[in-house]
Structure 1
């Protein structure tokens, strides 16, 4: 085991500080501290009944698990075995950026800057795609590393993918976008379909990683729930979301099985 360099220590400290910033931001965004709950901020543009692709309120419970994973990662990457590991050297700053951008997104909503929240969440999504790519192309050192690192990044990416679609839609609706004469139901189905395609891409890139499929499926399932039992109602959107969940989960299972068979064949060879 090599000795950590100053660069390693700076990276570890940056991740830890960014995690603290993100956690403080989460308390502000939930209204626990001095902030306003996200669903009520920005004129309610991100509430469960604001648009046809807004997930139901219960969907946001996943943030508790994601934040738990991010705190676990901030601690995990400080341990000696991870300090000089190449995958953590590559992962540190992208994850740190995602944490800071997460807090920045919450602040943009708190200050009613819905227009600013879109480029911020887009940048957050890019940081997570980079992080996911790194986890997908580097081998985890242990089961714990796979759960804490790969699992957290996967859950984070899947959920933010759904959140990005909801955020962009919320901005368009708030700005009075009328859909070029196309019905809101059809637009919602198209957006959900795009989310499904993202799920297929992630399944392929990640060779069947379970975590992103779970969080993507979770978000889409709550969109279906909100459109079937809440307002505004939209059966087409709900059906599209359910189909997308089935497709994402099914594709993930197929890709994972094929990857496992390929790895077994290589080992035997």
Structure 2
């Protein structure tokens, strides 16, 4: 397939978007003199703000996501990727996710909690569209699996969980009045059940891709750890978070082992695009 001017433009935009995201991340952690995200918005985004806040160690996953995003930006800029249909379909959307990622950090640094909620919801939506594009344009190449599918999958899984924590932090700080411990536990458990169902839905919609579930499980495990080692303490929420973590990993694993895809049929019947990739 012959490259077109818009293909080069896409490659440049992806690089620019990822550079913007990295600079925004540096601003977000206070490297340029700003305030660390944990201390912004009156500490509403820290690990001890609500029963659904992950422990601080959970946020180390961002380092992996950023490294993979940088790797994707470099890889997609290679001449051999310029005219590929898969890059044409997903590249612009991956650029959008990088920009929204950076915008969330800037919103947290300079705006308010409602602004962060709006941006993170848009980011989840963009990531959902992106991973669906990758699903309908399958590839068996390891470079596609690592640099595109795994990158977007981890990003989606973590941000899906982060959205729950972000919305909860906003509601607890500005909307819902202070609740009793029992009420907080009940709401926390109910939301974690929804998170588990969301993880199952993502697994189904992505034909059993494991990366989103792994990222969600990572955050869920650290929610459980935080509720047993930090305030607010809640053993029921911790146990529920750990059960949800197991569910969001086991479901895509079972789908892959059994060959079940989102269509409900076994994967032994490959799509024409998948068969072409195998050849």
TM value normalised by structure 2 = 0.91
131-140 or 119-128: which moved more? 131-140
Listed as ranges, the gaps of 5+ residues in structure 1 are none
CA distance in 1, matches of 2:254, 2:241: 20
Query: Are positions 1:229 and 2:229 aligned together?
Result: yes
Whole-angstrom distance in 2 between the partners of 1:141 and 1:9: 24
Contact 1:42 1:111 in 2 (8 A): no
Q: Which runs of 5+ in 2 are unaligned?
A: none
SS in 1 for 2:37: coil
Give, in angstroms, the shift of residue 34 of structure 1: 2.1
Structure 1 equivalent of residue 215 of structure 2 = 215
Shift of 1:99: 0.9
Work out the CA distance in 2 between the residues paired with 1:262 and 1:84: 32
- For residue 242 of structure 1, what is the aligned residue in structure 2? 242
> Which runs of structure 2 are paired with 1:1-269 in the superposition (5 Å)?
2-140=1-139, 142-178=141-177, 183-259=183-259, 262-264=266-268
CA–CA distance in structure 1, aligned partners of residues 50 and 111 of structure 2: 17
Native 8 Å contact 2:172 2:178 kept in 1: no
Q: For each residue in 1:74-98, what CA deviation from the matched residue of structure 2 results, as whole angstroms up to 9, or x when unmatched?
A: 1111112221111111111111111
Contact 1:43 1:112 in 2 (8 A): no
Determine the C-alpha separation between the residues in 2 that align with 1:133 and 1:90. 10
Cα distance between partner residues in 2 of 1:10 and 1:211: 29
Q: Deviations over 1:95-121 (max 9, x none)?
A: 111111111111111114111110110
**Distance across 2 between alignment mates of 1:70 and 1:34:** 25
Residues 19 and 99, structure 1, Cα contact 8 Å, conserved in 2 = yes
1:128 CA drift (Å): 0.2
Does the aligned pair in 2 maintain the 1:192–1:244 contact within 8 Å? yes
In 2, Cα distance between equivalents of 1:106 and 1:239? 30
Q: How many residues align?
A: 266
SS at match of 1:249: helix
Deviations 1:185-227 (A, max 9, x none): 1111111111111110111111211111110000100100000
